[in-house]
Amino acid sequence: MKLYTFFRSSASFRVRIALNVKGIAWDAVPVSLPKGEHAGITFKAINPQGLVPTLDDSGRLLSQSLAIMEYLDEAHPGPKLLPADPLERAYVRAFSQLIACEIHPLNNLRVLKYLKQTYQLDDAAVNGWYRHWIAEGFALMEAFLLNENKHGRHIFRDQITMADCCLVPQVFNAQRFECDLKPYPAVMKIFDQCMELESFIAAQPAKQSDAA
Ligand SMILES: N[C@@H](CCC(=O)N[C@@H](CS)C(=O)NCC(=O)O)C(=O)O
């Protein structure tokens, strides 16, 4: 299996964790976002969306990290990334989408670039935007966890799920932008517990072949 990935891409990081948790062997094909490789014709022939990650499973190309993780879970053996019960699956999907739909798109590279280029925002203003949406999103996650009360070592009891695969990269991003994460102790406890596991450690940006 080949994964088109960029070391700092959190959506790629989600899939790297999922592949490791499932015990699937994979090779990285680095796509540099700073060099604009994702927007070039070579990569757009692979994924016309021009986004990483993209998974190549024996010639079948898949895009969108949540769809990729659900595909891996359905088509490949290994530990399950979603619970069996429909209500519990909905809980895991809701938490995953809270990150992938409510937080990540607002702070994506092309959004930050647009703010800088179109509205001439300086780095301080862009960082303020970034931290605002992190604070709102993390508060929603913390409240969701406490309200549902389904968490244990992981977001769903003691089972690693797609939601943990989404959470850890989002925390890495928040830490890179020096966001204050002290107000979210339940979220951070799960993050710390995930980062004790080799499948998460090996997927982190600094361990990737294309890390600067
Ligand atoms: N919803 C997509 C998001 C993919 C995405 O936005 N990837 C980022 C890196 S984390 C990217 O390729 N950004 C390029 C850009 O913004 O121009 C997914 O979950 O796979």
Mean pLDDT per 10-residue run, the chain (212 residues)?
Answer: 98 98 98 96 97 97 98 97 98 98 95 96 96 98 98 98 98 97 98 98 98 83
CB of 33 within 6 A of ligand 1: the answer is yes
pLDDT in the model for residue 126:
96
| Ligand 1 near 190 CB (within 6 A) | no
Q: What is the pLDDT of residue 189?
A: 98
The pLDDT value recorded for residue 61 is 98
Which token pair is 79? 């530990």
The pLDDT of residue 194 is 98
Sheet holding 60-63, edge to edge: 27-30, 2-5, 54-57, 60-63
- Report the nearest-CA residue for atom 5 of ligand 1: 51
Residue 148's nearest CA partner among 198, 187, 100, 101 is: 187
Ligand 1 centroid – CA 196 distance (Å): 26
CA 165 to chain centre: 6
Would you say the pTM of this structure is higher than 0.95? yes
Helices (H), the chain: 10-22, 41-46, 65-75, 86-97, 109-119, 123-148, 162-176, 185-194, 198-201
Q: Is 9 in the pocket of ligand 1 (CB under 6 A)?
A: yes
**Peptide bond preceding 53 in cis form (omega within 30 of 0):** yes
Q: So what's the pLDDT on residue 111? A: 96
- Which atom of ligand 1 is nearest the CA belonging to 15? 20
Q: Which of 3, 17, 61, 108 to mutate to test ligand 1, by most ligand atoms within 8 A of the CB atom? A: 108
- Nearest protein Cα to ligand 1, atom 10: 9
What's the 130 CA to ligand 1 centre distance in angstroms?
Answer: 16
Please report the atom of ligand 1 found closest to the CA of residue 8: 10
